[in-house]
């Protein structure tokens, strides 16, 4: 069952007017984009997508190594205290990674943490290793969040820019068990889908 161009235009118009929400499963999209064939996706989208795919793939593949490196950086930073800091770092990183795709895609907490870490590095007399550890942990958490933020932005750019892309994945994808794009007519203008 294909969506007509008029139905697509109506959905986009209603979304723009705040009368309908276009929703995506950002975790499924991240997985799909990491594995996607860039040439096929470019053909479907009608414009080059290689840069977006490269950024999403690099962020996706670097999340776990960055968490491990942050934990390893705790060893020279905290000495024997690293026995507690190292597992805490891993738990913070993995916990944040597991929640990064939920809810609204905001980077405020992580950006604030990065600013505070940078401020501590400038003002506080702790050693350079503490500054490096805090900044590396902040950048790691920011990378985790940006993966989902950029996935969300990329998919919505494709939704708004390509009828063929929207039609291919709206409510009836053959490869997916669940829809990757759907609409919510009970949309409240007080919440945002993007």
pLDDT digits (tens, 9 = 90+) for 22-61: 888 888 889 889 998 889 888 888 889 999 999 999 999 9
CB distance 136 to 76 below 8 Å: no
Q: Which residues contact 132 (CB under 8 A, 6 or more apart)?
A: 73, 77
Across 75-79, average pLDDT = 86
Token pair for residue 36? 């996607």
3-state secondary structure of 135: helix
Dihedral in degrees, nearest 10, Cα atoms 35, 37, 42, 45: -50
3-state secondary structure of 103: coil
Whole-structure pTM over 0.75, yes or no? yes
């Amino acid at each position: 069952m294909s969506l007509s161009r008029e139905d697509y235009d109506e959905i986009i118009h209603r979304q723009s007017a705040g009368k309908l929400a276009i929703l995506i499963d950002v975790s499924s999209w991240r997985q799909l984009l990491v594995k996607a064939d860039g040439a096929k996706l470019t053909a479907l989208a009608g414009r080059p997508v290689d840069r977006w795919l490269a950024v999403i793939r690099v962020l996706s593949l670097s999340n776990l190594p960055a968490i491990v490196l942050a934990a390893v950086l705790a060893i020279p930073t905290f000495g024997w205290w690293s026995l507690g800091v190292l597992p805490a770092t891993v738990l913070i990183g993995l916990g944040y990674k597991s929640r990064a795709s939920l809810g609204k895609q905001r980077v405020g907490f992580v950006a604030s943490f990065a600013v505070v870490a940078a401020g501590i590095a400038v003002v506080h007399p702790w050693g350079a290793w503490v500054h490096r550890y805090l900044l590396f942990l902040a950048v790691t958490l920011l990378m985790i969040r940006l993966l989902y933020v950029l996935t969300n932005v990329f998919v919505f750019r494709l939704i708004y820019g390509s009828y063929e892309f929207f039609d291919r994945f709206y409510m009836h994808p053959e490869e997916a068990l669940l829809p990757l794009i759907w609409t919510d007519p009970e949309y409240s203008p007080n919440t945002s889908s993007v």
